[in-house]
C-alpha cells in the first residue's frame, strides 16, 4: 500500500520531484546524505518557535501525533467544536496533514487555520517580499486546507503566524509584538485550486516503483541550488561541471544553452562566447592551463592599502529565531566568540587573542576584549567583511558606549576576499569560488579544517547551542569549548597565512 503524501513531501515535490522520489522510494540512497547537526538544530528551533507561538492561543488542546488514534481523536474534538486545537491530524485516502493551530470561529461556524513559520515577516527596502518564499508558504497552507476540507471540516480564515523582525526584546518576551498574523485567505484561493491537481500528481509520481527517467529540475540550476540526491539522479554530471561556473545560477539561460549543447565539463566551455563574463572566462582558462592567473600589479596595489598594525578578525555567531536577551531582534546574530591575530609590523611576532563567552549576553565582554586589543590605527582584516561589519554595526547599536569604537572598526576593515573576487589571483584549485575554505587548502596546504572536530561555522553554532543549554556537560563540554576556540583561531590564522602568501607573490619572493 502506497504511503500517504505528507506536507513535507508535497513541498519538496514542488521543488524537485526526483529528489522527493529518492527520499521515499530509495531511503538507502537518500540517507547517505545525512543532515548536519546544525540542520537538525534548525528543525528543533522551528519546534521551539511553534511552542512559543501557541502562547497566543490560550487553552489549546495538543494532540500527540505519535500516539495511535490521533486522527480519531481529532475527529472527536472537531465534532465537539473544541475552541483551540494544536497539531490536529487529518487524513484522506492519499494525503496526511497535521495543522499547527485550529481556532473555532463561532460567528463563521467554521475553524480558522493558522500555520506557524519560523521565518520573519521582513521585506526588502522597498517593501517587497521574497515571492518564491511567499508562494511556498501559500502552497504549504493550501495543502493543509485541502486535506482538512476533504475530511469534511469547514475552514474560514487561513493565517500565517510569523516572527516580527522589527520587534526588539525588552525584558520578558511580548507575544503580541513578537509574532505577526498575516491573512492569506484571498491569496489561498488560486493556490488551493492548483494544489488539488499537484497533490494528485505528486502522489502518483512518488508511488512509482521505478525511478523516473531524466534529469531533475536542479540540472538547470547552479551548484549551490542542487538537491540532496543530485549526484544519484544525474550521474552524467561531473563533480566539477558548468554548474560550478562563477555565478552561473544568475545566468540561467546561458546554463540551459550550454547543457542543451552537451557541454557539461568546464574544459569544454567555448572561450569565444560573448556571454562569458571575465570571471567565468578566467575560471575556464586556468582550468585548461592548470596554472594560476595572477595580476601582480593589482595585487601589490591592494596590499599597499593596508596599514600596520594588521588585525585579522573573525566572529562566530548564533542567529537564534527567538531573541534571548534584551536589545535583540528575532534572528539577530549573537556574537559569542572572536579570534584576533595581530601583526604590529612586517617582521613582528604574530600575537593571538580569542575568547568564547557562554554565560548571558556575550556582547559586553566581546566589546571590552576588542577595545583592549585593537588600537586606534591600523587595518582590520576579515574575509567577506559584510558579515563582520554587520555584526560590528549591531554591537554599536547594542552598546552606545562602544559605538564610536565599532563604527571606527567598520571604516578600517579590509576584505581580503576581494583579492580573489576581483581576480587579482585566480587559481584552478579555487574552482570559481572565493570562500576561505576553498582558497586556504590551495594556497596554504599545511593548514586544514578537515582534521578539526569543529570544522565550520555551523558546527560552532551547534556547539554554542549545546553548551548554553547544558546539552553536554563535564569533560565533553570542556573539549567542545577547546575545539570551538581552535576552529575560530584557525580562521584568523588562515587569513594571516593567505595574506602572507599574497605578499610574497606581490614582492616576487
Instruction: State how far the alpha carbon of 188 is from the alpha carbons of 145, 237, 282, in Å.
Output: 9, 38, 47
Backbone angles phi, psi at 494, to 5 degrees: -60, -45
Burial class (CB in 10 A: 0-12, 13-18, 19+), 135: middle
126-130, 205-209, 409-413: least confidently modelled range: 126-130
Cα–Cα distance for residue pair 391/195, rounded to 1 Å: 41
pLDDT of residue 66: 65
Same domain, 363 and 421: yes
Q: Answer left, alpha or beta for residue 262, where phi above 0 means left and psi between -120 and 50 means alpha.
A: left
Q: Is the pTM of this model over 0.85?
A: yes
Q: Does 93 score more than 90 pLDDT? A: yes
Mean pLDDT score, 185-207: 94
Quickly state the pLDDT bin for 392 (edges 50, 70, 90): very high
Q: Return d(Cα 330, Cα 320) in angstroms, integer.
A: 7
Look at residue 127 in the predicted model and tell me its pLDDT: 47
Instruction: Tell me the pLDDT band of 365, cut-offs 50, 70 and 90.
Output: very high
Same domain, 129 and 251: no
Closest CA to 420 of 408, 437, 433: 433
CA triple 423-425-430, angle to 5 deg: 95
Whether 170 and 75 map to the same domain: the answer is yes
In this structure, are 471 and 431 located in the same domain? yes
End residue of a domain, out of 182, 206, 230: 206
Q: C-alpha distances in angstroms, 138 versus 50, 230, 494? A: 18, 26, 44
State yes or no: pLDDT of 155 exceeds 60.
yes
Q: Are residues 267 and 304 in the same domain?
A: no
pLDDT tens for 421-461 read 999 999 999 999 999 999 999 999 999 998 899 999 989 99
Same domain, 363 and 318: yes
Pair (80, 187) in one structural domain: yes
Which residues are paired to 312 by β-bridges? 341, 381
CATH of the domain at 323: 3.30.420.10
* 180-185 own/partner pairs: CB under 8 Å, 24+ apart: 180/121, 181/114, 182/121, 183/157, 183/158, 183/159, 184/137, 184/138, 184/141, 184/158, 184/159, 184/160, 185/157, 185/158, 185/159
pLDDT at 37 over 90: no
Predicted confidence (pLDDT) at residue 295 exceeds the cutoff of 50: yes
Q: What digits encode the pLDDT tens for the residues 328-360?
A: 999 999 999 999 999 999 989 999 999 999 989
First and final CA of the chain: distance in angstroms? Answer: 70
pLDDT digits (tens, 9 = 90+) for 260-272: 999 999 999 999 9
Q: How confident is the model at residue 126 (pLDDT cuts 50, 70, 90)?
A: very low
Same domain, 425 and 372: yes
Q: Are 277 and 405 contained in the same domain?
A: no
Q: What Rg value do the Cα atoms of the chain yield, rounded? A: 26
In this predicted structure, what is the pLDDT of residue 129?
59
Q: Are residues 383 and 494 in the same domain?
A: yes
pLDDT of res. 350: 98
Beta strands in 128-249 (DSSP E): 155-163, 179-183
Residue 21 domain-assigned (yes or no):
no
In a domain, 144, yes or no: yes
Residue 348 and residue 321: Cα distance in Å, rounded?
A: 43
Range of the domain at 280: 238-289
363 or 187, which is more confident: 363
Total number of domains in the chain: 3
- Does the structure show a pLDDT above 90 at 500? yes
Amino acid at each position: 500500500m502506497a504511503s500517504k503524501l505528507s506536507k513535507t513531501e508535497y513541498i519538496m515535490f514542488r521543488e524537485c520531484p526526483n529528489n522527493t522520489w529518492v527520499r521515499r522510494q530509495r531511503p538507502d540512497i537518500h540517507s547517505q546524505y545525512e543532515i548536519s547537526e546544525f540542520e537538525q538544530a534548525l528543525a528543533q528551533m522551528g519546534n521551539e518557535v511553534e511552542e512559543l507561538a501557541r502562547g497566543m492561543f490560550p487553552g489549546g488542546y495538543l494532540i500527540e501525533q505519535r500516539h495511535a488514534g490521533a486522527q480519531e481523536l481529532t475527529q472527536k474534538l472537531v465534532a465537539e467544536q473544541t475552541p483551540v486545537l494544536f497539531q490536529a491530524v487529518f487524513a484522506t485516502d492519499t494525503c496526511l496533514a497535521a495543522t499547527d493551530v485550529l481556532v473555532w470561529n463561532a460567528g463563521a461556524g467554521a475553524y480558522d487555520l493558522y500555520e506557524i513559520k519560523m521565518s520573519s515577516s521582513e521585506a526588502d527596502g522597498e517593501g517587497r517580499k521574497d515571492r518564491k518564499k511567499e508562494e511556498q508558504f501559500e502552497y504549504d497552507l493550501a495543502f493543509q486546507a485541502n486535506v482538512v476540507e476533504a475530511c469534511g471540516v469547514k475552514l474560514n480564515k487561513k493565517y500565517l503566524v510569523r516572527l516580527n523582525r522589527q520587534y526588539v526584546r525588552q525584558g520578558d518576551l511580548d507575544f503580541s509584538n513578537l509574532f505577526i498574523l498575516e491573512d492569506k485567505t484571498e491569496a489561498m484561493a488560486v493556490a488551493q485550486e492548483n494544489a488539488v491537481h499537484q497533490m494528485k500528481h505528486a502522489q502518483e509520481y512518488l508511488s512509482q516503483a521505478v525511478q523516473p527517467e531524466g534529469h531533475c529540475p536542479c540540472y538547470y540550476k547552479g551548484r549551490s541550488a542542487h538537491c540532496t540526491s543530485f549526484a544519484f539522479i544525474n550521474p552524467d554530471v561531473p563533480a566539477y561541471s558548468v554548474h560550478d561556473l562563477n555565478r552561473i545560477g544568475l545566468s540561467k539561460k546561458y546554463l540551459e544553452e550550454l547543457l542543451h549543447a552537451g557541454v557539461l565539463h568546464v574544459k569544454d566551455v567555448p572561450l569565444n562566447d560573448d556571454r562569458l563574463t571575465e570571471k567565468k572566462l578566467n575560471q575556464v582558462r586556468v582550468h585548461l592551463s592548470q596554472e594560476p592567473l595572477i595580476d601582480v600589479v593589482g595585487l601589490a596595489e591592494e596590499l599597499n592599502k593596508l596599514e600596520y598594525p594588521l588585525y585579522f578578525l573573525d566572529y562566530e555567531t548564533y542567529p537564534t529565531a527567538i531573541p534571548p536577551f534584551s536589545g535583540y531582534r528575532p534572528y539577530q546574530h549573537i556574537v559569542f566568540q572572536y579570534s584576533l591575530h595581530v601583526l604590529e609590523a612586517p617582521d613582528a611576532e604574530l600575537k593571538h587573542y580569542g575568547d568564547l563567552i557562554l554565560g548571558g549576553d556575550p556582547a559586553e565582554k566581546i566589546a571590552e576584549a576588542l577595545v583592549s586589543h585593537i588600537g586606534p590605527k591600523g587595518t582590520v582584516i576579515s574575509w567577506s567583511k559584510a558579515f563582520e561589519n554587520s555584526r560590528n554595526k549591531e554591537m554599536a547599536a547594542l552598546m552606545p558606549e562602544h559605538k564610536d569604537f565599532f563604527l571606527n572598526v567598520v571604516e578600517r576593515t579590509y576584505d581580503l576576499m576581494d583579492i580573489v573576487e576581483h581576480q587579482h589571483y585566480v587559481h584552478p584549485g579555487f574552482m570559481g569560488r572565493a570562500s576561505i575554505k576553498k582558497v586556504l587548502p590551495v594556497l596554504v596546504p599545511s593548514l586544514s579544517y578537515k582534521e578539526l572536530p569543529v570544522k565550520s561555522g555551523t558546527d560552532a553554532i551547534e556547539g554554542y547551542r549545546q553548551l548554553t543549554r547544558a546539552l553536554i556537560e563535564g569533560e565533553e563540554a570542556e573539549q567542545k569549548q577547546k575545539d570551538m576556540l581552535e576552529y575560530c583561531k584557525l580562521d584568523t590564522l588562515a587569513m594571516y597565512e593567505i595574506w602572507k602568501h599574497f605578499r610574497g607573490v606581490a614582492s616576487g619572493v
